Amino acid sequence: MKYRVLGTTGEKLSALGLGCMGMSFAYGPADKNESLATLHKALELGVNFLDTADLYGFGENELLLSEVLVPNRNKIFLATKFGFQQKDNGYIINGRPEHVKAAADASLQRLKTDVIDLYYAHRIDPDVPVEETVGAMADLVKAGKVRYLGLSEASVESIRKAHAVHPISALQTEYSLLTRDVEAAILPVCRELGIGFIPYSPLARGIVTAAITDINLLDPTDYRRVNGRFTGEAFENNKKLVAEFAQLAAQKGCTPAQLAIAWVLAQGEDIIPIPGTKRVKYLEDNLGAIQVEVTEADKQQLDVLVKKYPNVGARYDERSMSMVNR
């Protein structure tokens, strides 16, 4: 395993973390035994960075992780998130200080630990000044319940305001070959302020693996059935894109997943992707990306490919995008 330092914290994290959302949420039915096997295999292979959130299964994912966390606490750098709250068969964003603290206590109880290594605001509440939300998060650091603070899907303005209240150690945002919005302003401000960048969905919800050719084969509860990347004209565009992408991966002697993750890793040593999976075989495949070298020539070739098929579709539906701080 190779390791990278998280921002200015000095913490050495595995070059790839493990996103745990799919074990309990969004990607079809849960398989507890396979998920636990995947978590244990990740630790065995040197992964020390696990990412969850109270949203994932509305607490179920944190409970799952606790079974691995408790006997291995000193081996794991644990990140979780707060900010979504159930309401009327859906959820809203809640960044009020009292919710921040109540959510942290609930997560600590489910995770069966005394401290969260990295605590993120999952989304920025548009009705609460970010300074108030981060102020409450800073109180958790003072109380010894949290070690470092992070934001997820935050704008440059929010990052700067938050960082002025308390150092922000990590920003988590979607980033992949098909989702590159952060390159214009978000990545530069993270680098200016010494904030580690944690890309989620480096496989673009799995579409760049070239394994999903028919959404009807996905589980009926898999949310990708309604995701813009997997529907309509965008899906037809993307099937052509990933077919050529798979050919490029084969030429490099790696899988499409490995090339996609390696491309993200190659964007900077301050970047620590957290590809998600709930299966051992995909975990092992993903970790192989660490050994794949992406050259400048490779980057240029991939840029040409993506430009050839520009209609990649929206990463979120309209409602979900409305919750992204921009």
User: Taking a C-beta distance cutoff of 8 angstroms, is the pair 232, 159 a contact?
Assistant: no
Catalytic annotation present for 56 = yes
CA dist 175 and 197 (Å) reads 10
Residue 90: in which H helix or E strand, if any?
Answer: strand 90-93
DSSP result, 180-232 = -GGGTTHHHHHHHHT-EEEEE-TTGGGGGGT--S-GGGS-TTBGGGGSGGGSH
User: Taking a C-beta distance cutoff of 8 angstroms, is the pair 78, 107 a contact?
Assistant: no
Q: What is the DSSP letter of 152?
A: E
Of 171, 172, 166, the C-alpha closest to 146 is 166
HSE-CB for 86 with a 13 A CA cutoff: 7
Of 142, 141, 161, the C-alpha closest to 151 is 161
CA dist 9 and 27 (Å) reads 33
State phi, psi for 61 to the nearest 5 degrees: -70, -40
Provide the phi-psi class of 120: left if phi over 0, else alpha when psi is between -120 and 50, else beta: beta
For the stretch 228-239, what's the b/e string if a residue is b when 16 or more beta carbons lie within 10 angstroms of its beta carbon? bbbeeebbebbb
User: Taking a C-beta distance cutoff of 8 angstroms, is the pair 16, 264 a contact?
Assistant: no
CA dist 98 and 132 (Å) reads 10
The single residue of 3, 27, 56, 119 carrying the catalytic annotation is 56
Structure tokens given for 178: 């098909």
CA dist 243 and 205 (Å) reads 16
Report, as residue numbers or ranges, the catalytic residues.
56
